[in-house]
Chains A and B, each alone.
Chain A
Amino acid sequence: MNLWREVMLVAGKDLRIEARSRVTLYQVLPFGLIVVLLFAFALDPSRGVLARVAPGLFWVAVLLAALLAVSRSFQVETENAARDGLRLSGLDPAAVFLGKAGAIAVQLAVLEVALGAGVAFLYDVELRSVGLLVAAAVAATAGVAATGTLYGVLAAGLRVRETLVPLLLLPVVAPVMLGATRAWEAGLGRAASDGWPWVALLALFATLYTSIGMLAFGSLLEEA
């Protein structure tokens, strides 16, 4: 089986599990929306404060939700010796990595559409350049999904997985936070500077960590 088919196989498995269990839809998505709501309690909803910081708050909410999505992605592999199954399946580890990261990315994309609508609705923002917003979101999501999958498998067999992965993941994806927010500020008409260079940075990050993931996933799966 070629790489692409294996990737689809793994991603399809994860997405089918989600379709049946609906954990991302009924738990992670509401969590994201609650975070968006909480920010409004923490900050001043009047006087345009929320509208100004909306891009940043959106991406913080996405990042926190991503932690749950990553955790869930590897939670499903703990039952029925599923990890052993992956190891013994003969699938290329790089394909397993891409498949799992891809499934996380798809779920995050759905999340982002919903959270984006929530933010636009609650924080009163205008869409200036949709192309920029989408490009930035795709690149940022790919980067977060790749890095999350990498740390997810690294911590897969460990008891302290739940508290460890956030600590490991968040500092590393700080540049994604930075770039995505700056790009969205430009895309929502809230910054004078160009957002596209930030998209390039996000794409670089995504490419780099996807490559690392493809190389390292095999060794990490062996140890998990």
Chain B
Amino acid sequence: MREDALLHRRVATVVGWAALVSLAVLAVLGLWVAPPDAVQRDAQRLMYLHVPAAWLAYLAFGVTALGSALYLWRRTRSPVWDRIAGASAEIGVVFTALTLVLGSLWGRPVWGIWWAWDARLVTTAVLFFLYVGYLALRRIPGPGRATRCAIAALIAFVDVPIVHFSVDWWRTLHQEGTVFNDELKAQIHGTMAFTLFWGVLAFTLVFVYLLDKRYRLEALEEGRDERELEQAIAERVASGETGPGGAADLVDSGAPR
């Protein structure tokens, strides 16, 4: 491999095509083969995207946290883990946003509201903002970037279960949770269950493919940043030798430092 990557190029291509095909199959299953739900009717078909997207949002966050932890641990420290963390975070923020929007599109016809204050939704919204903060941090260049981001990722990761638990407890006390929980925990069987499972599978393939692709970009940009830095240093040194005020000038003229 001439480029730094997670997967061999041919493997990545295969994964990419597999992801595309499985998404197409998901569309057929979700929009046509699977029957409408007894209660939710056709709106159920959004679940085949919303649940996999949510799974991906949290999986990506886990990968970012894992990459961050492995980067910080001296025995496994490597820029590879930092790049994985960064790549996964960008993918994660996209899927978190998608999860929230799909959730609203589902909630409107089924519950009649765009938003509800239950643990799952609120935690996902907080997750979105945690991602945004991480990515803002990631944009700041410098030698300490990897460590800063890694610690920030772990601070955020530890927070997610606390947020979920506290909101869950809060809403249970207010007894508004029951209606939503009942509907979400409803048993699904047969084709619908299979389609849901297929959706999770398809999205996981999408994640692996995108992670590798984004990782390559991360590695390339790191290389570019380093070359730009080398170039800037070289220019500074060169101008110091010939231009006025350079250190070499002072030494030659014998001027006191």
User: Are A and B in direct contact (Cβ within 8 Å)?
Assistant: yes
A154 touches B170 (CB 8 A): no
> For B154, what are the chain A residues with a Cβ–Cβ distance below 8 Å?
212
A178 touches B166 (CB 8 A): yes
Tally chain A residues at the interface, Cβ within 8 Å: 32
> For A175, what are the chain B residues with a Cβ–Cβ distance below 8 Å?
159, 162-163, 166
A179 touches B166 (CB 8 A): yes
Interface bits A157-191 vs B (CB < 8 Å: 1, else 0): 11010001001101110110011001000000000
A24 to B143, CA, bound (A): 33
What is the minimal beta-carbon distance from B229 to any residue of chain A, in angstroms? 17
Q: Which of B32-40, B49-57, B144-152 lines the interface with chain A? A: B144-152
Task: Count contacts between A and B, CB distance < 8 Å.
Answer: 74
Which of the residues B143, B155, B165, B167 comes within 8 Å of A212, measured between beta carbons?
B155
A170 to B129, CA, bound (A): 9
A51 to B163, CA, bound (A): 26
Find residues 161-220 in chain B having any chain A CB closer than 8 Å to their own CB.
162-163, 165-167, 169-170, 173
> For B132, what are the chain A residues with a Cβ–Cβ distance below 8 Å?
167
Q: Which of B8-16, B99-107, B133-141 lines the interface with chain A? A: B133-141
> For A193, what are the chain B residues with a Cβ–Cβ distance below 8 Å?
173
B130 touches A224 (CB 8 A): no
What is the minimal beta-carbon distance from A139 to any residue of chain B, in angstroms? 13
> For B130, what are the chain A residues with a Cβ–Cβ distance below 8 Å?
171-172
Q: Which of A90-98, A104-112, A215-223 lines the interface with chain B? A: A215-223
A193 to B154, CA, bound (A): 33
What is the minimal beta-carbon distance from A191 to any residue of chain B, in angstroms? 9
Interface bits B214-234 vs A (CB < 8 Å: 1, else 0): 000000000000000000000
A172 touches B159 (CB 8 A): yes
B155 touches A150 (CB 8 A): yes
Assess whether B1 is interfacial by the CB under 8 Å rule: no
Find residues 81-136 in chain A having any chain B CB closer than 8 Å to their own CB.
none
Assess whether B158 is interfacial by the CB under 8 Å rule: yes
Given A171-B130, A175-B162, do A216 and B151 touch, yes or no (CB 8 Å)?
Answer: yes
Assess whether A49 is interfacial by the CB under 8 Å rule: no
User: How many B residues are at the interface, by size bracket?
Assistant: 20 to 34
Assess whether B66 is interfacial by the CB under 8 Å rule: no
B151 touches A168 (CB 8 A): no
A216 to B155, CA, bound (A): 10
> For A147, what are the chain B residues with a Cβ–Cβ distance below 8 Å?
155
Which of the residues A182, A204, A212, A219 comes within 8 Å of B147, measured between beta carbons?
A219
A208 to B166, CA, bound (A): 15
Residue of B nearest to A181 (CB): B170
Given A154-B148, A174-B126, A224-B144, do A164 and B137 touch, yes or no (CB 8 Å)?
Answer: yes
Offer 15 A-B interface pairs, CB within 8 angstroms, sorted by A.
A150-B155, A151-B152, A154-B137, A154-B148, A164-B137, A171-B126, A171-B133, A172-B156, A175-B162, A175-B163, A178-B166, A193-B173, A212-B158, A216-B151, A223-B143
Q: Which residues of A contact B (CB under 8 A)?
A: 147, 150-151, 154, 157-158, 160, 164, 167-168, 170-172, 174-175, 178-179, 182, 193, 197, 201, 204-205, 208-209, 212, 216, 219-220, 222-224
Nearest 7 pairs between A and B by C-beta?
Answer: A223-B144, A171-B129, A168-B133, A175-B166, A175-B162, A172-B159, A167-B133
